[in-house]
Amino acid sequence: MSLNNLISPIKDSINCKATLQDILDAMIENHTKHFVLIENKKPVGIITERDILLLYTNHVNLNLKAINYAKKNLISAKSNRKTNYILGLMLNHKIRRIIVTDNENNYIGSILQEKIIYEFEQDIFKTNIKAIDLVKNKQKAIFVNKDSSIQDALNIMNKHNIGSILVFDDLIPIGILTESDIINLAQKHIDTSLKIDEYSHKNLIVFDSKKPLFEIVKILKEKDIRRAVIFDDEKKEYFIITSKDILNNIKGNYNLFLESKLKDVKNTFNSLNEAVIELFDNEEEQIIYWFNDKAKKLFDIRIDQNIDSIIPFQKWDYIYKKIKNNNFNENEIIEIGDNIFQLTVIVTKILDNSIIKLLFTNISEIANTNIQIENSFKLLYEQMPYPYQSLNHLGQITNVNNKWLELTGYSKDEVINQKFSKFTDETHETLKGLFSIFLKNKTIKDERIKIKKKNGETLIASFTGNISSVNGNIKTHCVFKDITLEEKIQKKLKLSDIVFENTTEGIIITNEKGEIISVNNAFTKITGYEFEEVKNKNPKILKSGKHSKDFYKNLWENLLKNDSYKCEIWNRKKNGEIYPEWLNLSIVKDTNGNILNYVALFSDISKIKNSSAKIEFLAHHDPLTNLPNRLLLKARLNKSIEKANELQQRLAVFFIDIDNFKIINDTYGHSIGDNIINLVATRLSKNIRKNDTISRIGGDEFIIVIEDILEISDIESIAKKILFDFKEPIKMEEYLFDVTISIGISIFPNNGFDVEDLIKHADTAMYSAKNAGKNQFHFYKNEMTSEIYEKVIMKQELNDAIQNNEFEVYYQPQIDLKTNKIIGAEALVRWNHKSLGVVYPSDFISHAEETKQIIPIGEFVLKEACAFMKKLNESKILEKGIISVNISSIQIKHGNLLNKVTEELKVSKLNPANLDIELTETYIMENIQESILILNELKNLGVKLSIDDFGTGYSSLSYLKLFPIDKLKIDKSFSSSLPNDKKDVAITRSIIALGKGLEVKVIAEGVETLEQKEFLEKENCDEIQGWFYSKALKEEDFIKLVKEFN
């Protein structure tokens, strides 16, 4: 709580011209025990009851001016101070009242001890102090007999400097006379020779010494009295306690501190030559609390000033932060005015607040001497031929010389007061560690530090220096030498040594005469010779005898002409083995061009020679089958074309692909797949001649080049023979595989004149064979190119259709055979072609799949279908209706299907259970593992899953049970012949039975007649769709149908 809330409301100030009588009258009138004398709104003195008592006792004329008798050394505090601070001031200076002023030192009011006591009432309560604790070390009460005169009492009170005296009758207290009573007597001019018994207070309150202090305080507060009489039953003695006694015992250890510190330490401080100031720290500001005589004289200060009125704010802020962080330097040096002080700090805790003691030792004379020495050093360093710098304890640059600036490129303004770390590439940890060593040893020598120059370059400097301490301010003084070039040379030499000894190349160095003077470890490892065995000998000892004189003559001519020469050479090892090496010779000359040394670098290339054939083979052959790869095939085919063209002959290119290989590979694994590719390669190789070429160009694709063709029939015979060889199954482990191949054939010169055209046309013919049913061969025809052209045109038109929104979704109803009601629909796309009108899926879907344009088309259908069914669900036209959307295998492989379905369900807000995703049986069975993963991911979204065109593909019932499907769809190729075709009837019945067994729904599509509908109904098929009920309809027509039908 601040003082504003505790200031007494009673008028207690008066003009400084008032007389003693004026003050006496005002005390009586306003019931106050003091008056503050005011001049120009500022307090200049105080008169208390005690003062009046003394003057009255000495019969001083009360008409004299009060200012002459007032106490002038007032203790004041600002109105925003805290009660803890005020309590300390009262105890510190042994006063009963504090003068309160505003920020301009104008008088506001006063605060008495009683107010502070009541403010700390809870603290008193917590202490459990009893009355006996307050009187243990206190003098017993002084008393007079009831028959004594008032003057007798006044004399005793003045003699003992007490503010009250007990009146006894036969050793029993019957009354008390206080300063306030005497004020009243003086105002009434009562004769002091009268008996005291008539004028003392009779209603005396006496407390037992065992009574708790807080109870006594409570009664004093209620009765508005400031003295209590305590009776010690054991000693049979009486004591008088006042608010001051109570105050001294608030917070148990404060009185001990007061007695031991204020009495002894402050007397010591006063006797010292140093200035001492005590501060009260309330975190926000540090207020002057007490000071000794030396401090008052030196700094001209007063109580309640802020410390920054003496120590400059920035300096004090720096010191205070160090105090709070417990890292204050005991020898901190500060300048105040013309003086330099060494500052010592002591911090103690009182009443939960910090008291900071500042001890100022004047060291101005010593400091001035040190500054002169420092300036001499600066002058010396400035004139040094080496770069010089000085740093303070914060790592800031305080001085550099011109050499430093010349070398780094900075101006003095750019570096002074900047952190040295700004001008170096060293880490903070490195600099911190270096500075710690510096402080410990007081010196450094040849320490390497990287300096950043202004132009961005980095130089390496070798630092040498020492530390000085002037007035407690630590500074480093260093000179450095630029050793950047030396470091680079040393690094190169070290690197050269490392390379020389660790390189895998052998090195020989000879003198100008060709005598060996040095070899490295690799030389010994390669040749088998130790250095001592070849020292001073000519490298001719390594000659293999494999080269002619002309070889060596050519070598020396080139070396002497160009100062270097490279070649492949055969040399002999110590053990006699001849080996090939790659030799790099060079000449070292002096500045005048004279030869100093010959240097030979060589490496043993035996392994390279041996492996070159392998590398050559691997570069041109397939690693799995060892057949020529695409690169070698093209080279050979190119030569074959040149030969055929020259001899006017034909040649044929067979493009071969294994049928259904992906199913085998995915089902049985890559190991089985690789073995089958090898066996296929073996069978193909049996049917070609030595001058023909067979190549594996990747995956399950092979190319055979047949040369020397006279008749087309010869080509046909070879193709038939190859196909015949694959009639026999391939046995692999415990499996038998019916492997077939499709062959496309192009002929030179009929179908092309170069490598690319012949391969491309053979590839086209192979796809024609695949589309015709596989396990056959097709010759390339020009019509196939026309088909390709048509596909290009179709691709462009489909692209335009996507861009121009020419696609529209139609809906064919699906009927529950038990209820004969529409329960959903299949979404079918139509192309509103700008010139052809409505184009059906059968005319463009296969093209769209080839070009992957099916992906945006499929996404469009999914989006429209979800939105439409959500509309039907919400409008309750088809409240629980399900929309079926067919998904292409291309969408699954390349279209990020899972994310797209998730996105459309979120956007349309369609219940996932009302979306049925249809995947074709062919895709599922060709991609079993992938299908299981995708179907489970879709199922986790909550959608329904159907297998479309069931029964038309390569089904494996063992895998079917692994798929989380909800529905099987009977293909229209079976439905259309019902009930007349026995085979279709059998297949349809099997599918329905399989659905029942797997507990999934079965729907038949393509139902067009009543007979078909009745047959399916009889066989317990769940659902049907087809023209018997309705063709695929636009949205509005579909809605109309549902309303009529249901």
**Whole-angstrom distance, CA of residue 41 vs CA of residue 36:** 11
- Of 221, 236, 217, nearest to 141 by C-alpha is 236
Other residues' Cβ atoms within 10 Å of the Cβ of residue 139: 11
Query: What are the sequence ranges of the domains in the chain?
Result: 3-119, 121-250, 253-362, 367-481, 503-606, 621-780, 803-1045
Pairing label, strands 388-392, 473-482: antiparallel
pLDDT at 1017: 93
Q: Which CATH fold would you assign to the domain 3-119? A: CBS-domain (3.10.580)
**Whole-angstrom distance, CA of residue 198 vs CA of residue 331:** 67
The pLDDT of residue 250 is above 60: no
Architecture of domain 121-250: Roll (3.10)
Architecture of domain 253-362: 2-Layer Sandwich (3.30)
* Torsion of the alpha carbons at 702, 704, 705 and 709, rounded to the nearest 10: -150
Tell me the average pLDDT across 325-348: 77
* Number of alpha carbons in the 13 Å side-chain half-sphere of residue 418: 14
Architecture of domain 803-1045: Alpha-Beta Barrel (3.20)
Domain 503-606 has CATH 3.40.250.10: no
What CATH class does 621-780 carry?
Answer: alpha beta
Reading the block at residue 431, the tokens are 């600099």
Q: Are both 253-362 and 503-606 of the same fold?
A: yes
pLDDT tens sequence across 404-420: 999 999 999 999 999 99
- Of 236, 177, 239, 235, nearest to 206 by C-alpha is 239
Where b means 16+ CB within 10 Å and e means fewer, 762-776 reads bbbbbbbbbeeeebb
In the chain, pLDDT over 90 holds for what percent of residues?
38
* Number of alpha carbons in the 13 Å side-chain half-sphere of residue 948: 15
The pLDDT of residue 955 is above 80: no
Tell me the average pLDDT across 920-938: 81
- Of 850, 861, 915, nearest to 889 by C-alpha is 850
Pairing label, strands 1001-1004, 1023-1024: parallel
The pLDDT of residue 786 is above 60: no
Q: Give the length of the chain.
A: 1046
Name which residue leads in pLDDT, 592 or 390: 390
Type of residue at 192:
T
pLDDT at 52: 81
Which element (helix H / strand E) includes 195? none
- Of 194, 225, 229, nearest to 211 by C-alpha is 229
* Torsion of the alpha carbons at 419, 424, 429 and 431, rounded to the nearest 10: -70
Which element (helix H / strand E) includes 79? none
**Whole-angstrom distance, CA of residue 530 vs CA of residue 370:** 69
pLDDT tens sequence across 491-526: 765 666 666 777 788 899 999 999 999 888 889 999
pLDDT at 696: 95
Tell me the average pLDDT across 791-813: 87
The pLDDT of residue 528 is above 50: yes
Spatial strand order in the sheet of 339-350: 286-291, 275-281, 353-362, 339-350, 332-336
Reading the block at residue 879, the tokens are 């409240």
Cis peptide before 628 (omega within 30 of 0): no
The pLDDT of residue 172 is above 80: yes
The pLDDT of residue 375 is above 70: no
pLDDT tens sequence across 143-168: 899 889 988 888 888 888 888 888 88
**Whole-angstrom distance, CA of residue 11 vs CA of residue 25:** 13
pLDDT tens sequence across 33-92: 889 999 999 999 999 888 887 887 788 888 999 999 998 888 888 888 877 777 777 777
Reading the block at residue 436, the tokens are 């710690």
pLDDT tens sequence across 1002-1017: 999 999 999 999 999 9
The pLDDT of residue 261 is above 60: no
∠ CA 859-860-866, nearest 5°, is 90
Maximum distance among all alpha carbons in the chain?
167
- Of 362, 419, 429, nearest to 393 by C-alpha is 419
Type of residue at 999:
E
The pLDDT of residue 387 is above 60: yes
Inter-CA distances, 501 with 497, 602, 726, 819, 1038, Å? 6, 14, 63, 93, 88
pLDDT tens sequence across 427-454: 888 888 888 888 888 888 888 899 999 9
* Domain at 367-481: CATH code: 3.30.450.20
Q: Judge contact between 921 and 974, C-beta under 8 A.
A: no
In whole numbers, what is the pLDDT of the chain averaged over residues?
Answer: 85
pTM over 0.85: no
Cis peptide before 979 (omega within 30 of 0): yes
